[in-house]
Each structure stands twice: as C-alpha cells, then as structure tokens.
Structure 1
Amino acid sequence: MTVTQILNGLERVEAVGADADAAARMGLLEWAFALPGAATPEAARAALDAAPDRVESAAARAFVRYLGEASTPMPPPARRGRKARFH
C-alpha cells in the first residue's frame, strides 16, 4: 500500500491515545512490508515527502511521526571491549 492509502485509512480511525498509536504502528508495518526493497531511512524520507502536508486524526499524526523517526539514520554501534581500546 502507498503512504496515501495508509493515511486515508488512518484518517478514518477515531481512536486516540494508545489505540491511535497502535493503529499507526500497524500502518507503519504495513508500509514497511509493502515496500519493494528494504525499509531504509531514505525510503521513510521519500514516504514523508509523498504524504499530505496536513493530517487530521491522531492515528494519522502518529503515523507521520513514526515515519519521521524512521527517516533518521541510526548511528554506527560503539565498539566495546578489548579491541575498542586498541583502535
């Protein structure tokens, strides 16, 4: 499904609070599994760019927030242990 289709569905969700967040997480999973490739920060940024500027429902707002969080690249893991001290 496209981001627009997912957002249209989430706009019809009248839930608030934790229920809206749960619906948004389900939408994010649906988006990630529907991608032809990997769900990368770049794919999330492209999805945000394709999303409408204004969303109304709590679930749709949470979905956009989750996409924003997913568009931030993760830092590389910190080295720990004996090898890290020698590098």
Structure 2
Amino acid sequence: MADMPAGWEARGKPPTLFRRFAFGGYGETRAFLDALAALSEETGIHPQNINFGTTYANVTLEAADGVSLNEADTEFARRIDALAEGR
C-alpha cells in the first residue's frame, strides 16, 4: 500500500481509508462537503461513504480496485485533507 496520509485509518475488507474531520460549525462543515463534491466531480472519484453532523464529517474511501489501497487512493485522501485545511 502507498504511504497512508496522516490522520487516515486503514480498515478491513474491502480495504478502506477512514477519517473524521471536525469543524467549528455547520457553515464550515457544509463548505467542506460542497468542496468535496466538486473534487469528486472533477476527479471522477467518489467516497464510498460520507456521514456528517453539525460539526463533523466522516469520510470512507474504498480501494478503487476493491483489492488493495494504492497511490491513487491515498492521493485522493491527501486532496481531501487539503480541502479541510483550506476552510
């Protein structure tokens, strides 16, 4: 597997990456989710699962090939991190 971005957790089968993002309020959470939607449309890569509340968003990325996490998966995670840092 490619180097896992800081803050992300590798999980079970199928292989996934998981991270919880915390925000100061709903406006920040919504801005992050809107930016994530735009990134997904731009790249054609979509998180396997997203759930959120007022001040958090949980994001799960599944291995693109369903077998093992690769550089494309971890690069997408890094791009999501950049969105969260840009809030």
Q: Fold match, TM over 0.5?
A: no
Whose Rg is larger?
A: 1
Q: TM-score, normalised by structure 2?
A: 0.33
Name the one with the larger helix percent: 1
Name the one with the larger strand percent: 2
Q: TM-score, normalised by structure 1?
A: 0.33
